[in-house]
Amino acid sequence: MPFADILTFLFRGKMKNSRASRILYFWILVSVLVPSTVAQQGQPTTQPNTAIVEQGKFRLHKMEQAIGEETYQITGDGNSLSVKMDFKFTDRGTAVPLSATFRGTQDLTPEAFEIKGSTSRQSVIDEAVEVQPGRVRIRNREKWTESSAPQQFFTIAGYAPATMQMLLVRYWASHGSPAQLATFPSGNVKVEPRGPDPITINGKSEKLDRYTVEG
């Protein structure tokens, strides 16, 4: 499915704020990232054998009304990064929960991806990807299939969670910005820069980089 313009800006590869303009049902997602405030608040910044690299929150809107939120946490363990995402909104009184996990190398090369839950009141998803040497194993509910692994690819399944779109753009930007990128469980995406977009946040001027993501 096509993704609309994604408004985001990156500082040395780490996103500090993002906004997505009109994704499917006119979603507007505004991130409130807190990678440095955890320690300031006295909360633990480490877990056994892991360390929190980044965490944040997206507010989810439909027709300019706040209806839910998505939270994510990225932890590092040696040469790997693990990302846990929880996405939930309420649509006409019905809760729509979705969870996903992603594991990759430090440069975000995928190793594993799993997504399970609902993307709308009537849409259910249960898919997973396992990356092995030279091949990719794909699960759709209970059925497993295999595909050869291309030189470059990423894992994403639809418009949500927004965190996966954020990671997709980071991977694309740090791997030569290819004209087209294969994605698993299926499909491919095309990312195109669309120019800068200056905004003001709390009285401070910032410059966003706008991208169009299709696929």
Tens-place pLDDT, residues 130-178: 999 999 999 999 999 999 999 999 999 988 999 999 999 999 999 999 9
Q: What pTM was computed for the model?
A: 0.75
pLDDT, position 159: 87
CB 7 within 8 A of CB 19: yes
pLDDT above 70 as % of the chain: 77
Q: Total domain count for the chain?
A: 1
- Which class for 72: exposed (0-12), middle (13-18), buried (19 or more C-beta within 10 A)? buried
Give pLDDT tens digits for 92-112.
888 999 999 999 999 999 999
- Under 8 Å between Cβ of 100 and 165: no
| N- to C-terminal Cα separation, the chain | 6
Instruction: Give pLDDT tens digits for 71-82.
Output: 999 999 888 999
Q: Which domain holds residue 193?
A: 5-214
Beta pairing partners, 33: 56
